[in-house]
Structures are given as C-alpha cells and as structure tokens.
Amino acid sequence: MGEGHVVRFLERLVESELSGWPAEWEGFHWPGYTYEHTLRVRNLSLSMAQQLGADEGIIELAALLHDMGKPAGEPHGDAGAERAERVLSELGVGADSRSRVSHIIRTHTAPHPAYPVENLVLSDADFIDANFGYVAFTRYITIRAHRGYVVGEIIFGAGEWLVRSEAKREKVITDLGHAIARERLGRMHSFLEALHEDLANETDGKGPAIGIARYLAADAYRPSLFRQVGQMEKALRNHHAVNGLQPSPFPCEFVQMLEEEIAGAR
C-alpha cells in the first residue's frame, strides 16, 4: 500500500474535487459518479494486484489519481498524469514512483500488453468497473432513466446493451481481468433473465428483479450507488418496501453482490 499520509491526503483531494463533479449531468457522467468509480477502481485494482504480485503502493496511488484529469476534458490521461506528477512531487513522493504512476495514468485508457503489470491492472480495473457486473447494470439503468425511458423500455433495450458489453471483453488484457469480466457478465445476464421473467409474470409491479430496476430508475437525478446500496440493504434487512423494491431473496442477493463488487472482491 502507499505511504499512509500520502494515501489519506489523496483520498481527501479526490473527494474534494470529484465528489461534486460534474455540477450537473454531462453525457454518461453525473455528480459524484467519478468519485465513487475512483474508489471502486482502487479497491478492484488492489485486489487484482494482490493476486498478480503487482506493486500495491504504486497501483493505489495511480488508482486514486487516474481520473483527476477528467474535469479538464477528454482525452483525460495526459492531464491526469501531469496533475499526478505535481501533487505527488508536493507530497515528497520519489521521482521513480512519480514516473511510474504518471505513466500508468497517461496510458490507462489505451494500454499496451507489453506495459508493466501495474499499468495493466489499473486499466483492466477501470474498464471492468465501468462495463461489467451489477455496478455496470445499475449505471445502465440510471443513464436510461435519466434520459426519460420508463422501466419497460430500459429492460427492452438491455439485451442489445449486453451484446455490446460482451464485445467489450476483448479490450480486457490480463487473464485475471478476463476471469472477472466473465463472472460479472454472467451476473448481468442472470439479472436480465430475472427482469424478463418479472415482465412476463409481473403482478402490480412487484416482481423482485423489476423492483430493483424501479428503485434505481426513481433515483436517477443525482444518484449515489454507495447511498443506494446502504438504503436497499437497510430496507431489506427491516423488510420494508422502498420505491418498488420488495424484500425477497433475489434483491438480498443482488445487494450483497453489489457490495462485493464495490469492495473489489468479485
């Protein structure tokens, strides 16, 4: 792991600059999404680093700073790398470590398989979080709902979206990344099957899977997955219905798996 005081400073910096960015929705981004994404990528990167024997300290620094260039516009790798160099220099991080972190950030959206394993880990973790798993499915529902689609339309379009997600697997580089993406894709297909089953058998909008979709769609203005998971977990634990979410085994399993994805465990 990175030096404790450096990591704590970067955590505060990232929260300060990204927790409210952008101020309003911009394309596929909403206020706070990039901040929460950054924390998830840090978690998944560290989990992958432990399994691959990569330098956890370098990866943690790069993961925390990898999207700091986004407010400057796209492409954001160069701007993020330059910002990382300045910040880490001010914190007294050595030149070799700064160079490695900057290179990881500069190349994280277009890595080469010959790059060091730390580069590949960060790139895969970043790409996986955005595109695979229950985390990615909640993002899909949120984006569509914000654009005005009703839940039935969102579910109808999810099949085509999943086909595109399958095709994105070719951009994952490491064998471990492929295994994680494959497992997460399996969950995505299972969720879509449950949604279709609910549509076929739904009574008064209370199917367990479709209840999750309704809950997420109802909170699409300024969503926070961290907040949503906490609310869903509390509601299910207390057997309360919230915005279409009904206490039953499937939502409990869904929330537990979401928590594991957020923690980088799955």
pLDDT digits 0-9 by tens, 146-198: 999 999 999 999 999 999 999 999 999 999 999 999 999 999 999 999 999 98
Average pLDDT over residues 248-252: 81
Predicted confidence at residue 75, as pLDDT, reads 85
User: Maximum distance among all alpha carbons in the chain?
Assistant: 62
pLDDT band at 238 (very low <50, low <70, confident <90, very high): confident
Q: What is the CA radius of gyration of the chain?
A: 19
Backbone torsions φ then ψ of 147, nearest 5 degrees: -85, 0
What beta strand segments (E) does 62-146 contain? Answer: none
- What pLDDT is recorded for position 3? 77
**Structural domains of the chain in order of their starting residue, each with its CATH number:** 4-127 (1.10.3210.10), 134-262 (no CATH)
pLDDT over threshold 70, residue 145:
yes
5-63 tens-digit pLDDT: 999 999 999 999 999 999 999 989 999 999 999 999 999 999 999 999 999 999 999 99
CA 259 to chain centre: 12
- Tell me the CA distances in angstroms from 14 to 8, 20, 106, 114, one per residue in order: 10, 10, 17, 29
How much is the average pLDDT of 108-119? 94
pLDDT tens per residue, range 186-229: 999 999 999 999 888 865 556 889 989 999 999 999 999 999 99
pLDDT over 70, % of the chain? 94
